Structure 1
């Protein structure tokens, strides 16, 4: 539905989308105020299960559906037990099932890495932010697992940490500060979605990249970036909008606005001027599954995890595209 709306948007705009994504909203009686991280994991999972067969085979024991929050909590505990993000797990005393704990980018990375999916966390820091500052509830860059090795530099303004196929990590430093720094974040998102020969859909106004959505974290909240739009202005300048699904939004209202092509821009588009935090984190998932044997862990997983139905309120197919064949960087 979003793709169709974007095709009818400004004639001078080009949008790049990840493809199929379901919207999961926080529910008043279940997780409002603490569940945004879990809802974003559900959104990323909906994309992986629909568009990537190799991920579908390993995610959640091959069950083929998006687990509810309680089941995701057990999967995260299993990831901790297997040695992923052991330092981070200490913040929760290695227990999170049944609790109303906020989670962040590191928990998301640990969960997906436990299924042998490559995960990259990128930190965007303002010029006055040190690495002792936190995003959300605790320090950043704390995903330590059996395949993780981290290189830390105290003078970094943007930290780009990637788990490579051989278990090593790569990172790069880029100057960052205020509006210009926020533009660096926008450029990173644009380069991510626009790389590797995107697939065109309909006309050149909308392109399907085949890339996974991005987990997008800042202090106190997280959302899912499903694409980016560039508008070419008369003066030759370019204006960028992140295309975002927010778990705080109502799925029914989003669905209605997309069907009627009215008001959806306020719910999904976010320009550079809206990036007012000093610190952001992004998480991207790689295209390929690493060669890690998971059969033993799957066999030991309680069967009730496989029998849970999807929850999280109503979901909405915001990108009505079918699966695409875009590829990801080998080391992403």
Structure 2
């Protein structure tokens, strides 16, 4: 996984674009891809909201916009919405990583093993900001999510300071309550590419799960 934090250029609006890109020209390219998806009928509500004009702007995007874009590009992605509590979303994210830590052995092919081992980071959106969840941690003090904030440059170092590095990105259930109740999580389900027919059938972005 590559992680890129916001620079001065996109400070205050660029967090949604930082789900895997690192340079300003790539932000503009991503904006152009979103406009291309609108022209093909993807996410009409988003197209209307942005008035079909995004490239070169400082307009913020979120999980729904990225879901529509990924679907347009043939990527299998899913959106989870939470309207109940941050605790419910914390538990869902925790279980997401737990379920993917152990995979059956003896798969029929290398490709199937590769697919089973795929664990996507989670694009976590709340209010007008987003973070990237890259894992979980269980300690005698309790559970925590490991969460990168695109608006900050994390102090990630190598041993022997790894404990301090993890501390800088650790978010407990209590800390996550600051994010409110209306939350969204976006993740990539599989490395397999959608067929054109599958992509066309998913032009209207919808949550696959609500908690």
**What TM-score do the two structures reach when normalised by structure 1?**
0.50
Asked if the contact 1:194–1:209 (Cα under 8 Å) also holds between the matched residues in 2, the reply is no
Q: Which residue of 2 aligns with 1:188?
A: 92
Offset from partner CA, 1:47-76 (integer Å, 9 cap, x none)? xxxxxxxxxxxxxxxxxx997111111111
Q: For residues 69 and 259 of structure 1, do their structure 2 counterparts lie closer, same or farther at Cα, with a shift above 3 Å needed?
A: farther
Secondary structure of 1:22 counterpart: coil
Secondary structure of 2:119 counterpart: coil
Q: Which residue of 2 aligns with 1:289?
A: 193
Greater helix proportion: 2
Any residues of structure 2 matched to 1:252-291 within 5 Å, and which?
254-256=155-157, 260-261=161-162, 263-275=164-176, 276=178, 277-287=180-190, 288-291=192-195
Offset from partner CA, 1:202-223 (integer Å, 9 cap, x none)? xxxxxx9531111100001001
Q: Which of these residues, 202, 225, 237, is aligned with residue 133 of structure 2?
A: 225
> Which protein shows a greater Rg?
1
Q: Which runs of 4+ in 1 moved over 3 A?
A: 255-260
Any residues of structure 2 matched to 1:126-205 within 5 Å, and which?
176=84, 181-196=85-100, 198=102
CA RMSD of aligned residues (A): 2.8
**What TM-score do the two structures reach when normalised by structure 2?**
0.77
Secondary structure of 1:185 counterpart: helix
How many residue pairs end up in the alignment?
A: 184
**How far apart, CA to CA, are the structure 1 residues paired with 2:160 and 2:66?**
31
Asked if the contact 1:40–1:222 (Cα under 8 Å) also holds between the matched residues in 2, the reply is no
Asked if the contact 2:80–2:186 (Cα under 8 Å) also holds between the matched residues in 1, the reply is yes
Q: Which of these residues, 42, 46, 49, is aligned with residue 21 of structure 2?
A: 42
**How far apart, CA to CA, are the structure 1 residues paired with 2:45 and 2:159?**
42
Structure 1's unaligned 5+ residue stretches are: 1-20, 44-64, 126-175, 200-207, 234-238, 294-330
**How far apart, CA to CA, are the structure 1 residues paired with 2:25 and 2:102?**
30
Q: Which residue of 1 aligns with 2:47?
A: 89
Measure how far apart 1:197 and its partner are: 5.5
Structure 2's unaligned 5+ residue stretches are: 104-115, 198-207
Measure how far apart 1:122 and its partner are: 1.2
Q: Which of these residues, 235, 240, 245, is aligned with residue 143 of structure 2?
A: 240
Q: Which residue of 1 aligns with 2:205?
A: none
